[in-house]
Amino acid sequence: MLLKSGLHRKYLVLTILVVIVLGIVSACAPEGNPTPMLAGAVVPTRISTDTPTPTLTNTPTTTPTETQTPTNTATETSTSTETPTASATATATATATATETDAPTATATSGIDLSLPTQATISVALPRTQTSETYDPVTVYIDDLAFDYTGTLTDTNYEAFFVFEALAGDEIEVSMDRISGDLDPLLLVMDSDGEIIAENDDDPDGGTRNAYLESYLLTEDGEYTVIATRFQRDLGTSRGDFDLYFDLYEGDGTLVATSTPEEVDPDQSEIAYGDSVSGSISDAMYTVEFTFDGQVGDIVTISMDHVQGDLDPLLLIVNENGDTLIQDDDGGGDRNARISGFTLPRSGTYTIVATRFQQNLGTTTGRFDLTLERSVNDA
């Protein structure tokens, strides 16, 4: 009896200890939120859908889960053997549900909207289509001896034409003045063959960019055209309004000892000792030639004086072989040319070349008077 009584006490004590341990374990189990679990990679989603999504729930479960999650288990046992024990386990698991819930979804965000627009739209503003100006220059026919005109030059219509009739020996005076814009006027005179025979960009005496042709001598009967344009014409950039003044001075219909450099008419260009003639130098006709007959030993003096424009005269004497024997630029003073006391080396025909400083490269133009004299040789 004593032995049975002792065993009964041991089982009783052991049972009491188990109850105490279970009570302690239950008291130590945490309440509230379950232990956080370790989850796999979280993939950002564009939009919410009604498809099953992993959600965080506070429901303890013993059902199999989609992921392996570590759990915190507090277990006390009195033996070291593998015996089933009752334990309290706090486990938070993710379960797959097909219901809509207000529970937080397993979606990682950083405050940046990663959703993409359904369609990208690019808006390009095109410039307005402007109506281009058509090249249609003004053409005016002048019937009077005096004429004035006010016009406008643009990038498209950069020139105006003024047509008139004249006789050989007539003179014209034309000016073109800027009145607005940045216009840099340019005047051209064109003959009936379409050749430019005179031009001026800047008035030599005006100190401005206005254009001026003073007393230009016309050498042939026919139709002429004054072109009022701008510096560099179609390549220029200046624009604006202008005033044009035109005057025609009628001559007697004859030329006074003038010719072109290319074709010299001996009948019109011959002079003799004691003669005085007049001529004109322009950009198109920068050389006028006169011929005379001389004897060996003749002492000649030739003067060329500018009378209009900014002409800087230059004189040359050329022999029958085309060789230049002597030349002078400023021997007459005030930029006038003068060859004094030149002795002819042999008898024959000589040519006096009346031109301007730098000849074809020069820029001065205007009217001149030329005189040929012979001195008596006392020897």
Strand 94-97 relative to strand 185-190, pairing:
unpaired
Q: What residues contact residue 154 under an 8 Å CB cut-off, 6+ apart? A: 133, 239
CATH architecture of 266-375: Sandwich (2.60)
Query: Quick one: how many helices (H) and strands (E) in the chain?
Result: 2, 21
Question: What confidence score (pLDDT) does residue 213 get?
Answer: 87
Going by pLDDT thresholds of 50, 70 and 90, the confidence category of residue 309 is confident
Going by pLDDT thresholds of 50, 70 and 90, the confidence category of residue 5 is low
Strand 160-166 relative to strand 138-141, pairing:
parallel
Question: What confidence score (pLDDT) does residue 273 get?
Answer: 94
What percentage of the chain reaches a pLDDT higher than 90? Answer: 41
- CA gap 329, 357 in Å, rounded: 7
Question: What confidence score (pLDDT) does residue 10 get?
Answer: 74
Residue 234 has pLDDT above 70, yes or no: yes
Question: What confidence score (pLDDT) does residue 336 get?
Answer: 93
Residue 207 C-beta-side C-alpha neighbours within 13 Å: 0
Q: Where are the domains of the chain?
A: 138-249, 266-375
More confident residue, 38 or 196: 196
- State CA 306 to chain mean position distance: 44
Topology (CATH level 3) of domain 138-249: Jelly Rolls (2.60.120)
What percentage of the chain reaches a pLDDT higher than 70? Answer: 63
pLDDT digits (tens, 9 = 90+) for 321-345: 999 999 999 888 888 999 999 999 9
Amino acid found at 246: F
Tokens of 344: 């002819």
SS3 315: strand
What H or E segment, with its residue span, contains residue 223? strand 222-230
Question: What confidence score (pLDDT) does residue 21 get?
Answer: 77
Question: What confidence score (pLDDT) does residue 6 get?
Answer: 63
CB-based burial, 109-138: b 16+ in 10 Å, e otherwise: eeeeeeeeeeeeeeeeeeeeeeeeeeeeee
Q: What residues contact residue 111 under an 8 Å CB cut-off, 6+ apart? A: none
pLDDT digits (tens, 9 = 90+) for 7-64: 677 778 778 888 887 877 676 655 555 545 444 444 454 544 454 544 444 444 444 4
pLDDT digits (tens, 9 = 90+) for 112-136: 554 555 555 555 555 544 456 799 9
Contact 271, 358 (CB under 8 A): no
- State CA 38 to chain mean position distance: 67
Domains 138-249 and 266-375 share a fold: yes
Residue 89 has pLDDT above 80, yes or no: no
